[in-house]
Amino acid sequence: MKKITTLLFALLVGSMGLLPSTTNAHPVTVDGTSIEWDAFPPTTFANLGHLVRNASSEGEYVWNDLAGDHRTDLGGGGNVDLTRFRVTGDATNVYFLAKFSDITQTFGDGVTQLQIAVRTTGAGGQTWLGGNSDTQVDAAAAWDYLIMTSFGSALSGEAAPKIWDASWASSTAGNAIISDTNDLIEIAVPWTALGLAGPPAYGLKFTVATFRANTSDETWDLTGVSDALDAVTTYGDPNPADSRNTWIEVGDAVVNYHFQVFFHQTTGEVYSPILISEVMSNNTTDPVPIFDEWVELVNVSPVAIQLVNYKLGDEELIGGGESMRQFNEGVISSLGVIVWARDAGYFFTKYNRDPDFCFALGTRVGIPTTPAYSNWSTGNNWDLSTNDGPVVLDPYDTVIDIIDWGTESWPGLTKGSFIYGGNSYERVPANRDTNNVPTDFIIRVPDPVEGNPFNAQFDTDGDGILDSTDNCPLIANFDQANAD
């Protein structure tokens, strides 16, 4: 059999709609409780979001908000103090859950109002939030649809949200419940209400803010300034001991922060478009082992991903002393694979091929380097070795993938074991993500070369099993032809 290129394989399986393997629908019932949501833990850091997956490949975006950081200009106390925000989906709806410090009112004048701006296309059409709120979203997140709760005009704590399009035409769709028992707002919105036939191939951008509403569902007004009282925001710089107030975000009348979520096109499950597919952390042949460390990344989404402002690091803790590197260029195609190397020269010596990106050039030239991202880590010391693990951040500093075999832990992640010299961790299949390192990864032993860079074994038929129908083009090493 002739060798088939990775590009041809990508085109083939891309046409088959390859997405994360064995993904199931995440059941949500809008009932004012968080039972279906709570199995997906938040991060331990305030004002940070991450993606969490489980053994059934169900996923959520989970944002952990700093309690008590809301504005107090209009009172309301815990009614407007957002503490957590979650997103998931299924084939029919996108779902949101917002937790608050203390909901004491469920309808009428002064009730909590939640606004969620959704950018569904590359263009966007509107920056102003609704309800005469004197608040805008960032131009990069200009919205196509705005979801706004309508409990102010309601006669109970259950009311379909208003959906505005960018021309300010409104409708109602789905359902929303506010619960003073469970201190939350739960929302379901049909994909069709957002102008979509179903879960889209591309990621959606979201901007989130809280207000107080009157009986016409207009926001309570603060003359001359933004009416937003809390918002989902990192303030442009994640901080491990955050104590900043919402006014810092909306003092210019703009919620500058937004985040992006990808949904499985068939089931609507939340997933990471970029996954760590292999890690070489402890080679045996180089005099300084860390120089030969490398990480392989794969794009499991059906669309090309711009790598600008994605990050790769070995520092799981915000403000820690290890390294976080930022990509300033590049595109990774659907099903594409890239390799980032600690030292390009050492990588070339071993594999007779340059990496796509590197920490240091070594003896090589012309390879893009990745500068330090100081907003996350204070150090410049990349060293996975036998007791660490890499982490991937998206352009909005959401933790979208992490693996670990060391002493540190991450909420929702089952860690791997100590990795011996010369072995690598390889995700098999490359599009399976259950947040469980022993399940998702194999430990690859030298055969005869250490590691297997630039290759990825995909489960193309979604059965969770690698078989002859899945991977004929990519099982061979990159410098060998496939054989009959």
User: What pLDDT is attached to residue 479?
Assistant: 36
DSSP state of 65: P
pTM above 0.85, yes or no: yes
Tell me the one-letter amino acid at 296: E
Of 240, 263, 286, the residue at which a domain comes to its end is 263
**Number of domains present in the structure of the chain:** 2
317 falls within a domain: yes
55 and 201 inside one domain = yes
Q: How many CB atoms are located within 10 Å of the residue 72 CB?
A: 14
**204 sits in which H/E element:** strand 204-213
285 and 234 inside one domain = no
213 falls within a domain: yes
- Structural domain that includes position 252: 48-263
136 and 257 inside one domain = yes
On whether the CB atoms of residues 113 and 220 are closer than 8 A, the answer is no
Radius of gyration of the chain from its Cα atoms, rounded to whole angstroms: 23
Of 219, 243, 263, the residue at which a domain comes to its end is 263
481 falls within a domain: no
List alpha helices for 262-352, DSSP H.
344-351
Q: From CA 88, how far away is CA 233, in angstroms rounded?
A: 19
9 falls within a domain: no
340 and 238 inside one domain = no
313 and 235 inside one domain = no
User: What pLDDT is attached to residue 475?
Assistant: 33
User: What pLDDT is attached to residue 425?
Assistant: 92
On whether the CB atoms of residues 175 and 92 are closer than 8 A, the answer is no
> Which residues lie across from 99 on neighbouring strands?
84, 184
248 and 307 inside one domain = no
13 falls within a domain: no
| pLDDT averaged over 10-residue windows placed end to end, the chain, 484 residues | 39 48 74 96 95 95 97 93 98 98 98 98 89 98 98 98 97 98 98 98 98 98 97 92 92 98 97 97 64 93 98 93 96 97 94 97 97 92 82 98 88 87 90 95 88 90 65 38 32
106 falls within a domain: yes
CATH number, domain with residue 315: 2.60.40.1260
Q: Which residue, 254, 246, 374, is CA-closest to 315?
A: 374
For 207, the token pair is 């901007």
CATH number, domain with residue 244: 2.60.40
Instruction: Supply φ then ψ for residue 414, to 5 degrees.
Output: -95, 120
301 and 215 inside one domain = no
284 and 426 inside one domain = yes
User: What pLDDT is attached to residue 381?
Assistant: 84
221 and 281 inside one domain = no
177 and 325 inside one domain = no
Q: Phi-psi region for residue 359, left (φ > 0), alpha (ψ -120 to 50) or beta?
A: alpha
253 and 297 inside one domain = no
283 and 255 inside one domain = no
386 falls within a domain: yes
Contacts of 378 (CB under 8 A, 6+ apart): 319, 320, 321
462 falls within a domain: no
